[in-house]
A and B are shown apart, each in its own frame.
Chain A
Amino acid sequence: MFFSKSDKLLFYSTLPLIVGVLGILLILSYMILSQSWPSFQRFGFAVLTTSAWSPSDDPQREFYGLAAPIASSLYVSILSVLVSVPISICLTLTLIEILPKYLGAPLRYVTEVMGGLPTVIYGLWGSTTLAPFLRDQVMKPLHDYLGFIPLFSCRPLTGHSMLAASITLAVATTPYVTALLIEGYYLIPSKYKEGAYSLGATDYEAYKIMMGILKPYVIAASLLGFSRALSETTIVALTVGNSMKLSLCLFDPAYTIPSLIANQFESARLYEYALPTLFAGALILLLISLAASYAGIRLVYGWRERIHV
């Protein structure tokens, strides 16, 4: 394994680095847990099952519950995944299979540009351009004609809503999901495609077969995209409307956990239990996000090992 003394030196000097990075992760989890502890002690599980944000100078009268932000976080992120994954599948096939190279290369460049674009730009665009557009062109007609469906039952006001947030999020996370799918698509052995065509499949049928093989990877990419959407702060805080409300209606404003933290952190320092409650929210966020990325990565590795047998 080692070819010289310097190799050994390198090996052992990397050790503290890895331990250090692992240590930071553990300290981070511990800090978040310990900072949130007073909130769990005071409110118990009610902090996760009720929905309230009433700070008070008298610590006895403070009451907080994170049910609404947690539910809205999940709602908005799942919605954004439902939008971004189909687009990503189309993009993957278009870029790899359908378009000739001179058209595919520029399109790929553009998606890569969009993948790295600072999220605050998406947020500002979502709040000033996309939200009013959605309100006038999508939300109002849907509310007028299909208002009896609970999803569309509330009257859209400013356009800043869970729908606007999830669409902006979907636009921002699609390049990431697409990059994952492209990576997976190239790993599929070519025998499957050759087999499909030799049996007389049309292009579309062949793509369907390829996507069937890629299915675990698609699920993994969705999980990773979900984790990214869930932890996104800037975009959501600028587009979701920021209101403490538990609602199923897409056009209602809401708080997600990150946007609640971003909005309330400064003032939360003034109250005894507000800051611990925000840390409790961060803990929940961390747990869900880590679980989703872990599951996604496990799926990816499992699939890679199976496909190469």
Chain B
Amino acid sequence: MREHGSANGALLTREQAQAIVEKAVKWSKADAVDVQLNTYTQGNIRFADNQVSTAGATTDAQLGIQSAFGPKHAVVTTNDLSDEAIKRAVEQSERLARLAPDDPESMPQLGAQQYAPVSSYFDSSAALTADDRAKAALIALEMARQAGDVKAAGYLVNTAGTLAIGNSTGMFAYHRSTNVNYTLTARTADGTGSGWAAADHADWAQIDARGVAETAIAKARLSQKPVALEPGRYTVILEPQAVGDLVQLIANYADARSADEGRSPFVKQGGGNKVGEKIVDERVTIFSDPSDPQLLGRPWDFEGMPLDRQVWIEKGVLKQLIYSRFWAKKQNKTATGGPSTFKMAGGTQSVEDLIKGTTRGILVTRLWYLREVDPRTILYTGLTRDGTFLVENGKITKSLRNFRFNESPLFLLNNIEALGRAERLAGTEQGGNVVMPSIKARDFNFTSLSEAV
């Protein structure tokens, strides 16, 4: 039989999670076993055309067992946490692992580790109810209905979860977290204007639902009846979300092995990688830090490596690429673990300040549908969306048609004119704990126009 449970008891405590990990270890006959266990509850409301469309709640769990016999290993996951299911998953992963061919890159398990705890669980977020969510949605809906000239579409979701990992050599880590994410798009009734705003935090108390609604609606109105500007290279002011949409991509290319193997933007001519070289403007510093109050990330990676502050780019110089444990050993380097957070340090200016200091440029709210065009330079294509404006002599003067761009975050970070304040992002396609500044940069490459609003 499956175990009885309720939504209230859906999240496992540290002790409960540890007990399940220990059961799997106890029942394992493999040379080594690694266990990953998460439990979560999630509630959401979605609205469009000025009214609720769907609302829901989900409770689930996932238990992953990796068994290894020497260099052979395999993973089995299940969402059933009963003793029978744990035994079944252990046995099944052992069966698959025995069949699997040797993995010459398999690494010995990590032993017990020390982790600096991070408090990313907030009762305010975990306790959010369907009523609370509907009332928060209603703020934007009523504002839009009363305005008469805009339609609101949005999504509010709160999640509470736990994640634990452990293994047969005594490593165990447990982290619990909450998150609230609210995104809102306001479109004008005539179909010519669209504005977007969002908020994201571990703590519901930090979410300003009214502020989000006011910004999105104001932006929708300001963006009405856009005019076409010839595509080409322009000075841009990218809001933090637009910066993040591009700059966050760098993390996907930061694998040291790919660089050492000659297939990465960080390949040094003639072989090796670019660590130690200046690759972007000296005002650029990018780091990971789970304990940063704007980030509040998990302080360990999925292998159990402790994650502390790690600097990837400092004052424009590439300081570090991501080393897996295998590649680090092979290259005689230190393994970095897989980061859970990503932050680019900013300045003190607001987006308004950047606008005031600009003679002619294009203000971009966010980017959309980014897809790789050339991995050698992290060249991506994508489009601007939900608020693109012409800035002249320190003021927004016109709403502009959206552009398609072909641009690389590395080129962008070499063309910086000014940095604004760093903010936590809510709408990046990849998700995650990301903090980015606004950036004013020259020569941003817009390649064509889009009629899309």
Are A and B genuine complex partners?
no
